[in-house]
């Protein structure tokens, strides 16, 4: 199990424990946080699963693909720690991470 904290747009912090495997997007939605829209279902064709990963964990994640960067750059809330949660695998590298759901564009 991987334990991490998800911060909603309103600032509520939710600690969740999730099994390894699948994507961070799926884990957040499965935890009942419906504000992460993920309209494309994880197909890397929108940016509605935009999150910010704390800097302590962002370096341990797989690098962003060109497609991910292009989608994120279209957001007015894009920053260095921005990621698409559908592109982040849930594994031990996320243990203890703080993930903020990005404001809606």
pLDDT digits 0-9 by tens, 63-88: 999 999 999 999 999 999 999 999 99
Q: State the first-to-last Cα distance of the chain, in angstroms, to the nearest integer.
A: 32
Mean pLDDT in residue range 48-69: 95
Superfamily of domain 2-101: Beta-grasp domain (3.10.20.30)
Mean pLDDT of 88-97: 96
The reported pLDDT for the residue numbered 82 is 97
* Domain positions in the chain: 2-101
Cα(57)–Cα(37) distance, integer angstroms: 23
On whether the pTM is more than 0.85, the answer is yes
């Amino acid at each position: 199990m991987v334990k991490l904290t998800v911060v909603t747009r309103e600032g509520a912090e939710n600690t969740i424990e999730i099994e390894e495997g699948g994507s961070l997007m799926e884990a957040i939605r499965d935890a009942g946080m419906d504000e992460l829209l993920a309209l494309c279902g994880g197909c890397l064709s929108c940016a509605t699963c935009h999150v910010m990963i704390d800097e302590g964990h962002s370096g341990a994640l797989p690098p962003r693909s060109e497609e991910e960067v292009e989608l994120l750059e279209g957001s007015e809330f894009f920053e260095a720690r921005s990621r698409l949660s559908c592109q982040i695998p849930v594994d031990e590298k996320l243990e203890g991470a703080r993930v903020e759901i990005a404001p809606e564009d």
